[in-house]
Amino acid sequence: MNLAKVRNLLIIRLSSLGDILLTTPLVRSIKKKYPEIKIDFILKKEYKEVLEFNPYISKVLEYPANRNEKKLFLNQFKENQHDFIIDLQNNFRSAEIRKILGHPFVKFNKKSIDKFLLVKFKINRLRNSSQIPIRYAETLDNLKLDDDGLDFFLPNKITPELNNNENIIGFAPGSKHFTKMWPKEYFIELGNQLKNEGFKIALFGGGNDIRTCHEISNNIPNCINQCGQNNLYKTAINMKQCSAIVCNDSGLMHVASALKIPLLALFGSTVKEFGFSPYKSKNIVYENNKLECRPCTHIGRDKCPKKHFKCMLELTPQIALEKLKLLLN
């Protein structure tokens, strides 16, 4: 689809934090190539902060959680007269939105069969596949992304609580799934090694990460625990004060990437071929490429199906420290 004749564009990506951030190169590139286009974006309410201050978007529309509210919202929304829809979610919810609105559309190719073959049979047809922002752009004809990476715009009134003169390394030890989480004992060991070399550690995460961050904080002297603030802007502005971020394959990994913070990413049960590695930022991905069982999932699991969890346990704090020093230098 060529957007030359489109004036009112709707983009659908309901969740999650990282997936929405990965849409921002497409949004920016569309607006720069077709400045007359008005871009609206539908997402879930809890992710509104991700795009709230994005200057390339006209309206950020909150998709209601209640089913009755959804129907009312979409029926009212039909009045907006969009010319075209780009569906980057491509699931039953976004299909319902497309059906009710009735506008012409294109949808993201999720490569579900290729992901299934890689996870279940280790047949890798994704080896040469592009990263997700590029694949998002491939839904359109003749649109080339620029080289500026992800966007995350912060309000001017937010001021950091951390001091970037204190040589801080940020840890984001959380993830939605167990098999994507580096062991907290490893974060503790790495944190103490960094402390001995003159660094200070700051912890970042959401409500689900409070317990993990509390344990890590209690075992690293003078650790700054920023976890659980429930404010993405505060988290982001404090992350920007760090010399580097160490994190799992998670939403905060993409936040760090958007903020252009040097990044050491620890990949366990997932692999870069799925397209979700840090995009156009200074980063090193540390992963175990020697395991035949990897990947065991494309999103994450609650436990290791092989019961050995070697994908994470064999990523040692010592090697992580070496890679982090390489990143910093």
Which pLDDT value is given to residue 80?
Answer: 66
Which pLDDT value is given to residue 2?
Answer: 77
Determine the Cα–Cα distance for residues 194 and 187; give it in Å rounded to an integer: 10
pTM of the model: 0.96
| Mean pLDDT, residues 109-135 taken together | 97
Q: What is the mean pLDDT of the chain?
A: 95
User: CA 129, 130, 133, 139 torsion: positive or negative?
Assistant: negative
Question: pLDDT, tens digit, for every residue of 227-243?
Answer: 988 899 999 999 999 99
Residue written as token pair 């980063």: 283
| Mean pLDDT, residues 89-104 taken together | 92
| Fold for the domain defined by 164-328 | Rossmann fold (3.40.50)
User: With bands split at pLDDT 50, 70 and 90, how would you rate the model's confidence at 24?
Assistant: very high
Determine the Cα–Cα distance for residues 260 and 282; give it in Å rounded to an integer: 7
Task: Give the residue among 233, 226, 219, 177 at the shortest CA–CA distance from 204.
Answer: 226
Which pLDDT value is given to residue 67?
Answer: 78
The domain ranges of the chain are 8-137, 164-328
Check for a shared fold between 8-137 and 164-328: yes
Q: What top-level class would CATH report for the domain 8-137?
A: alpha beta
Contact status, residue 143 vs residue 276, Cβ threshold 8 Å: no
| Mean pLDDT, residues 39-68 taken together | 94
Determine the Cα–Cα distance for residues 283 and 80; give it in Å rounded to an integer: 41
Which pLDDT value is given to residue 79?
Answer: 65
pLDDT above 90 (res 69): no
DSSP summary character for residue 43: E
